[in-house]
Amino acid sequence: MSSSDNNTAASAGTANRKPVRVWVDGCFDMMHFGHANALRQARAMGDYLVVGVHSDVEVEKNKGPCVMKEDERYAAVAACKWVDEVVKDAPYVTTLEMLDEYDIDFVVHGDDITTAADGTDCYQIVKDAGRYQECKRTVGISTTELVGRMLLLTRDHHIRGSRAIKSPIQGVDEAAIANFSQGSKPVGALTGIAHYLSTSKKIIQFSSGGEPKPGDRVVYVDGAFDLFHTGHIEFFKRARELGDYLLVGVHDDQTVNAIKGGNFPVMNLQERVLGALQCRYVDEVIIGAPYSVTKDVLEDVYHVDVVVHGASDRPTDIDGRDPYELPKQLGIYREVEHPCLGLTTTAIIERIIANRHVYIERQARKAKKALAEAEAEQREKEVKAACHI
């Protein structure tokens, strides 16, 4: 058989191979780049990624209340560029029946244990069936971590102007809030306040890498894009519809803080960049874009044909000038509306504050459980040591 025949046979074999279908499930509350990184890894293990998202009722029963509503979580997962299909109201404990219904080959989960309300491993059934694989967990980011940042840094953090206004966490036990800075484990906490260390490799992994084709209409949007949410997603989607290639400018931490004040942004620049890059509507990101749109922004990266901003927001730069003055003069400025205009980073923070006692109590329970487990482990070691004397 000639080499060409071998190549033809190999191609035919690949074409006839059944696509590998992978399942991932979870709450995906405040869908962040840690979630996206798990989905990226899972998608790389197969050909088609199906993601099951638990309902509010299931999460409340097994884990506690979500910050984001189930419809917001469904939409956030669907917007991730590595996701092929979303299954709503997926069971909290993964079953073989669910996998068979969606013709799934195996389940992927992070290298940490997830338990249901009764303490059982949510993936024990699929593990026993040999249909389970692990991916690497992204250290330094979690929903609990983000909630902790907001509770620890909440005092007047979304208030600009008078300091006479009461803090939204006034009257809350500061010692209880401080538990978030300690984590739920005595050593090496995974749920306390941490700092994600971004690398060029991670940014490359998240980047699409595509360039605009000749004749493509390039659309530019900019913002903080803090706590990446469905409001951002809907804005990106509608901006992308005005062209062929979406370029997103993400402002640096100092700029966001100078404009918004308090303790904004909640997430640092690298974290916010990764949040934008995982979105299927985003083609490229300018890291640390200037707050006011400049000639450099419009010409140096790509030739920008249209600059888009949200219809409900009227921002000004630090000097009080309109940051979109230049694109308006050039006649390339557009505004868009979308159904999630009311969902903002501040609105999410207000949800956290309104339910702060729930999150503080949940964190206290985690810390207590971790301490009890550590004490039991120490007693077991002491007993074993005594037996060898």
Question: How confident is the prediction along the chain (389 residues), in pLDDT tens digits per residue?
Answer: 454 554 554 444 556 889 999 999 999 999 999 999 999 999 999 999 999 999 999 998 888 888 999 999 999 999 999 999 999 999 999 999 999 999 999 999 998 778 888 888 899 999 999 999 999 988 878 887 888 888 775 433 322 333 333 333 344 444 444 444 444 343 333 334 445 667 788 888 999 889 999 999 999 999 999 999 999 999 999 999 999 999 999 999 999 999 988 888 999 999 999 999 999 999 999 999 999 999 999 999 999 999 999 987 778 898 899 999 999 999 999 999 988 878 999 899 888 888 888 877 766 765 654 454 345 446 646 765 776 55
Whether the full predicted model's pTM is greater than 0.85, yes or no, is: no
- A 10 A CB-CB count for 344 gives 19
Question: Residues near 203 by Cβ (< 8 Å), separated by ≥ 6?
Answer: 270, 273, 274, 277
Q: Is the dihedral of CA 29, 33, 38, 41 positive or negative?
A: positive
49 forms bridges with which residues in the sheet? 22
CA distances from 113 to 128, 303, 349 (A): 15, 48, 28
Alpha-carbon distance 355 to 351, whole Å? 6
Per DSSP, the three-state class of 104 is coil
Supply the pLDDT for residue 370: 47
Question: Residues near 363 by Cβ (< 8 Å), separated by ≥ 6?
Answer: 144, 148, 179, 180, 184, 191
What b-and-e string marks burial along 66-85, b requiring 16 or more CB atoms within 10 Å of the CB? bbbebebbbbbbbbbbbbee
Specify the DSSP element, H or E, that contains 133.
strand 132-135
Residue with tokens 């809907």: 234
Supply the pLDDT for residue 373: 36
| Residue 313: HSE in the Cβ half-sphere, 13 Å Cα cutoff | 22
Supply the pLDDT for residue 313: 74
| Residue 383: HSE in the Cβ half-sphere, 13 Å Cα cutoff | 6
Q: Is the dihedral of CA 367, 373, 377, 378 positive or negative?
A: positive
Alpha-carbon distance 16 to 6, whole Å? 15
Supply the pLDDT for residue 118: 84
